[in-house]
């Protein structure tokens, strides 16, 4: 299953899609599944399941803390696939976001096969660009998986064209030059980047990095096909570490606010 169905539905409704991220195994595997299902029920159109990694160079302190907690809790690659299976069963397209080494270690083809059989839609690869991704591209094509690569404000037009040509599912536009994490105001780099990306592809272009509430989501939804939110969800769970019921309730509230935002944009 590709994420394409989710974007087609959002487009038919005349709105942007809400893409929600949470790392598997944070704070533990079962609760992360419960939390992600809550995000699905409250309005996420696409789910990114994060694979916790020991050296997350693109992540800010919030997601680093969650990944570290997941790893200290013993989360394995197989737990990530189990999480994907549980989330995909809801019918919501589910992709994995992962740094490259865990996939290479698992075996690129084996990972693609197991991800596909878990019902996963594809992979977002923050530290793998298409020019280094021959092995992954071949495996993804064999197993009919989405390949979601990133474009950045610093990307040249030629690299954007090369990247979008290699993508399937959607294109991930990093709106700021910096690591993940909620930011008070959206970046003025996002709009021009989306425009430059759109010039090269018909794929949906989603914007990530920094969105934390409905008004920001509405701002981004005005010019993007999807709004990606990660750190704000993680932060919500971190803030309610002692009371899981309250955490889920806050997560539902945040998701609803963001889902409302993408409908206002």
Instruction: Dig out the tokens for 190 from the structure.
Output: 């996002």
48 flagged as catalytic: yes
Angle at 229 between CA 28 and CA 166, to 5 degrees: 105
Position 156 contacts other proteins (CB under 8 A): yes
How many binding residues for other proteins (CB under 8 A)?
41
Position 226 contacts other proteins (CB under 8 A): no
For residues 53 and 97, the answer to whether their CB atoms sit within 8 Å is no
Q: Which is nearer to other proteins, 42 or 187 (CB)?
A: 187
Position 161 contacts other proteins (CB under 8 A): no
Among 151, 211, 232, 248, binds other proteins (CB under 8 A): 151
Position 109 contacts other proteins (CB under 8 A): no
Q: Which helix (H) or strand (E) covers residue 106, if one does? A: helix 100-106
Position 185 contacts other proteins (CB under 8 A): no
2/85 Cα distance (integer angstroms): 14
Position 26 contacts other proteins (CB under 8 A): no
Q: Which of 8, 28, 59, 243 is catalytic?
A: 59
Report helix, strand or coil for 172.
Answer: strand
Cβ at position 187, least distance to other proteins in Å: 11
**Candidate segments 32-40, 84-92, 123-131, 140-148, binder of other proteins by CB under 8 A:** 123-131
Position 246 contacts other proteins (CB under 8 A): no
Distance (Å) of CA 180 to CA 22, 129, 212, 249:
13, 18, 11, 24
For residues 180 and 230, the answer to whether their CB atoms sit within 8 Å is yes
How many residues are there in the chain?
265
Q: List phi, psi (to 5°) of 26.
A: -115, 120
Among 26, 136, 149, 170, binds other proteins (CB under 8 A): 149
CB-based contacts of 89, cutoff 8 Å, min separation 6: 119
Active site residues: 48, 59
Site residues, other proteins (CB under 8 A): 53-58, 60-61, 64, 68, 71, 76-77, 100-106, 126-129, 131-132, 149-156, 159, 163, 174, 176-179
């Amino acid at each position: 299953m590709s994420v394409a169905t989710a974007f087609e539905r959002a487009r038919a409704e005349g709105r942007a899609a809400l893409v929600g991220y949470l790392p598997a195994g944070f704070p533990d595997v079962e609760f992360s599944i419960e939390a992600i299902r809550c995000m699905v029920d409250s309005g996420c159109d696409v789910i990114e399941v994060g694979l916790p990694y020991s050296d997350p160079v693109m992540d800010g302190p919030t997601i680093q803390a969650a990944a570290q907690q997941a790893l200290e809790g013993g989360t394995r690659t197989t737990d990530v696939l189990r999480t994907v299976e549980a989330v995909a069963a809801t019918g919501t397209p589910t992709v994995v976001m992962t740094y490259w080494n865990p996939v290479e270690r698992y075996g690129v083809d084996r990972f693609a096969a197991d991800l596909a059989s878990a019902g996963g839609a594809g992979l977002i690869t923050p530290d793998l660009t298409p020019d280094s991704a021959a092995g992954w591209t071949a495996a993804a094509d064999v197993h009919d998986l989405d390949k979601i690569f990133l474009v950045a404000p610093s990307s040249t037009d030629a690299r954007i064209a090369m990247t979008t040509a290699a993508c399937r599912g959607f294109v991930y536009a990093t709106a700021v030059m910096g690591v993940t994490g909620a930011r008070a105001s959206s970046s003025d780099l996002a709009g021009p980047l989306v425009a430059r990306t759109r010039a090269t592809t018909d794929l949906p272009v989603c914007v990530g990095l920094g969105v934390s509430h409905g008004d920001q989501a509405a701002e981004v939804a005005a010019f993007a096909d999807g709004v990606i939110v990660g750190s704000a969800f993680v932060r919500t769970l971190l803030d309610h570490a002692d009371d899981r019921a309250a955490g889920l309730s806050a997560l539902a509230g945040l998701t609803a606010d963001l889902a409302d935002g993408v409908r206002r944009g």
